[in-house]
Amino acid sequence: MILKDKVVVITGGTKGLGKSLSECLALRKNIIVVTGRSISRNFTDKQTKILSIKADVTNECDIKKLANLTVKTFGRIDIWINNAGIWLPHAPIEQLDIKKVHYMIEVNLFGTIYGSKYALIQMKKQKKGTIVNILSSSALKGSAGSSAYCASKFAASGFTKSLRLEVEKNNIKVISVYTRGIKTNLFDEQKPVQYKNFMEPIYVSKKIISNLEATNPEDDLIIKS
């Protein structure tokens, strides 16, 4: 894929990996729409031309409005990146706050499902498009103390693999990205012991972009430091 003049939606695009991806793709002269819960109002950055929209990925109506506004403004959606995600500090399952677990699953799983649903409604009309779901190496292997987080990512991975089979006949690409730890504010509450060895967002962004540009992109992209 030639990454230029594409309309790209990135959820959770105001911080960390999402912000890095949006900036890298904007430099390549793509049209970028990012979302975030902390955005006070919709606005376009005059320098980067990135359109920022307030939206909560756990709210299906917000995501529907996001897709509709993107199409109304730019006419299409070429790439949709489901990047929004949260993490809970390591703890035995009996010590977890189940309300927080519910919310994490809403973000990590249902946020991905909502984004994919409304991206696909438009992409099927266009008869082409690419969905990228940012997952985690925790979707590949269980980890003590991270049972709930792993469950949310395993579920999102299963959804992504099934969706890929569902839409391949529609000329729509669905890519899973499995990353090791990334240095972002996701871990502000509790930094894992190995945090100093985590990857920089820009490194991961470049790997994702290189895969999108490849003649035959990997369906399951595993990024290690």
Q: How far apart are CA 109 and CA 140, in angstroms?
A: 15
Of 103, 114, 118, 149, the catalytic one is 149
SS3 track for 174-205? EEEEEECCECCHHHCCCCCCCHHHCECHHHHH
Strand order in the sheet with 79-82: 43-44, 51-54, 31-36, 7-10, 79-82, 129-134, 172-179, 220-223
Angle at CA of residue 114, ends 108 and 120, nearest 5°: 125
Does residue 203 have an active-site annotation?
no
By annotation, the residues acting in catalysis are 149
